[in-house]
Chains A and B, each alone.
Chain A
Amino acid sequence: MAITTAVCTSYKVDLLFGRHNFALSGGDTFKIALYTSAATLGATTTAYSATNEASGTGYTATGNTLTRVDPTSSGTTAYTDFADTTWSTATITARGCLIYNDTLTTPVADASVQVHDFGSDKTSTAADFTIQFPTADASNAIIRIA
Chain B
Amino acid sequence: MTFDESNGLITDHLSGKTIDYVVRNGKLLELHTTCGHCIKLQADVNYDIHFGGQSVKIQLKALTLGAEQGSF
What is the interface of chain A, defined by CB distance below 8 A to chain B? 5-7, 12, 15, 77, 97, 114, 116, 118, 120, 122-134, 139-146
Given the complex of chains A and B, what is the CA–CA distance between A146 and B66 in angstroms? 5
A119 to B: closest C-beta gap in Å:
8
- Residue contact A125 to B72, C-beta cutoff 8 Å: no
Q: Contacts A125-B13, A125-B53; is A134 near B59 (CB within 8 Å)?
A: yes
Q: Contacts A123-B56, A127-B38; is A146 near B67 (CB within 8 Å)?
A: yes
Interface size class of B (residues with CB under 8 A): 20 to 34
- Residue contact B37 to A131, C-beta cutoff 8 Å: no
Given the complex of chains A and B, what is the CA–CA distance between A12 and B70 in angstroms? 11
Q: Which of B38-64 contact A (CB under 8 A)?
A: 38, 40, 51-64
- Residue contact A7 to B65, C-beta cutoff 8 Å: yes
- Residue contact B59 to A125, C-beta cutoff 8 Å: no
Tell me the dominant secondary structure on chain A's binding face.
Answer: strand
Q: Contacts A122-B37, A125-B13, A132-B60; is A145 near B65 (CB within 8 Å)?
A: yes
- Residue contact A133 to B13, C-beta cutoff 8 Å: no
Given the complex of chains A and B, what is the CA–CA distance between A124 and B51 in angstroms? 13
Task: Assess whether B29 is interfacial by the CB under 8 Å rule.
Answer: no
Query: Residue B57 contacts which of A15, A120, A132 (CB distance < 8 angstroms)?
Result: A132
Query: Residue A142 contacts which of B35, B52, B62 (CB distance < 8 angstroms)?
Result: B62
The 10 A-B pairs of least Cβ separation, nearest first, read: A146-B66, A127-B53, A127-B55, A126-B53, A128-B55, A125-B54, A130-B57, A144-B64, A122-B56, A145-B65
- Residue contact B56 to A129, C-beta cutoff 8 Å: yes
Closest to A76 in B: B66
Query: Residue A120 contacts which of B35, B55, B61, B63 (CB distance < 8 angstroms)?
Result: B35
Q: Identify the interface centre among B56, B66, B68: most chain A CB within 10 Å of its CB.
A: B56
Q: Which residues of B contact A140 (CB under 8 A)?
A: 62
